[in-house]
Structure 1
Amino acid sequence: MKNKFLIKRMVSCLLVLMTVFTFGLCQVKPAYAKTEHNPVVFVHGLGGASYNFAFIENYLKTQGWSQDELFAVDLPDKVLDVGNNAINSRVIDNYVNDVLQKTGKSKVDIVAHSMGGANSLYYITKLGGNAKVDKLVTLGGANGLVTSVAPEGVDVTSIYSLNDMIVNNYLSHLQGANNIRIYGVGHIGLLNNSNVNSLIVKALQ
Structure 2
Amino acid sequence: MADRKSHRWCGAVAAVAAVTAATSVAPAVASEQERHQVLNSGLASLLNATARPGAAPGGANDWSCVPAPEHPEPVVLVHGTVENMTYNGYSLAPRLANEGYCVFAFNYGQGTGLGVGLPGAYPTGGTAPIAASAEQLSGFVDSVLAATGADEVDLVGHSQGGMMPRQYLKFLGGAEKVDKLVGLSPSNHGTDVDGLALLPGVPQLLQSGLGDSVRDQMHDSEFLAELNAGGETVPGVDYTVIQTRYDEIVTPHTSAFLDGPNVNNILLQDGCEVNATDHLGISFDRRAEQFVVNALDPEHAAEPPCEPSPPINGATKDAMAADHR
How far the C-alpha of 1:43 sits from its partner, in A, is 0.5
Q: Quick check: which one's strand share is greater?
A: 1
Instruction: Tell me if structure 2 keeps the 8 A contact 1:134–1:154.
Output: yes
Q: In structure 1, how many angstroms separate the alpha carbons of the residues matched to 2:288 and 2:65?
A: 28
Q: In structure 2, how many angstroms separate the alpha carbons of the residues matched to 1:161 and 1:49?
A: 21
Instruction: Tell me if structure 2 keeps the 8 A contact 1:109–1:135.
Output: yes
Percent identical: 33
What SS does the aligned partner of 1:199 have?
helix
Unaligned runs of 5+ in 2: 1-62, 111-124, 190-223, 270-275, 298-325
Q: Quick check: which one's helix share is greater?
A: 1
- Give 1:178's aligned amino acid: N
Query: Which of the numbers 77, 80, 90 marks the counterpart of 1:45?
Result: 80
Match of 2:266 in 1: 180
What SS does the aligned partner of 2:90 have?
helix
Instruction: Tell me if structure 1 keeps the 8 A contact 2:145–2:152.
Output: yes
Instruction: Tell me if structure 2 keeps the 8 A contact 1:142–1:172.
Output: yes
How far the C-alpha of 1:62 sits from its partner, in A, is 3.0
Match of 1:73 in 2: 106
Larger RCO, structure (CA 8 Å, separation 6 or more): 2
Output aligned runs, 1:116-127, within 5 Å: 116-127=161-172
Q: TM-score, normalised by structure 2?
A: 0.50
Higher radius of gyration, 1 or 2: 1
How far the C-alpha of 1:117 sits from its partner, in A, is 1.8
Q: In structure 2, how many angstroms separate the alpha carbons of the residues matched to 1:89 and 1:73?
A: 12
How far the C-alpha of 1:76 sits from its partner, in A, is 2.2
Please give the root-mean-square deviation of Cα atoms over the aligned residues, in Å: 1.7
Instruction: Tell me if structure 2 keeps the 8 A contact 1:39–1:108.
Output: yes
How far the C-alpha of 1:31 sits from its partner, in A, is 2.6
Please state if 1:89 is matched with 2:181: no
Match of 2:234 in 1: 151
Match of 1:99 in 2: 144
- Give 1:174's aligned amino acid: L
Instruction: Tell me if structure 2 keeps the 8 A contact 1:161–1:182.
Output: yes
- Give 1:170's aligned amino acid: T
Alpha-carbon deviations, 1:83-111, whole Å to 9, x = none? 62111000000000000000000100000
- Give 1:159's aligned amino acid: I
Match of 1:62 in 2: 98
What SS does the aligned partner of 1:151 have?
coil
Unaligned runs of 5+ in 1: 1-29
Q: In structure 2, how many angstroms separate the alpha carbons of the residues matched to 1:33 and 1:110?
A: 17
Instruction: Tell me if structure 2 keeps the 8 A contact 1:85–1:118.
Output: no
Q: TM-score, normalised by structure 1?
A: 0.78
Q: In structure 2, how many angstroms separate the alpha carbons of the residues matched to 1:160 and 1:150?
A: 18
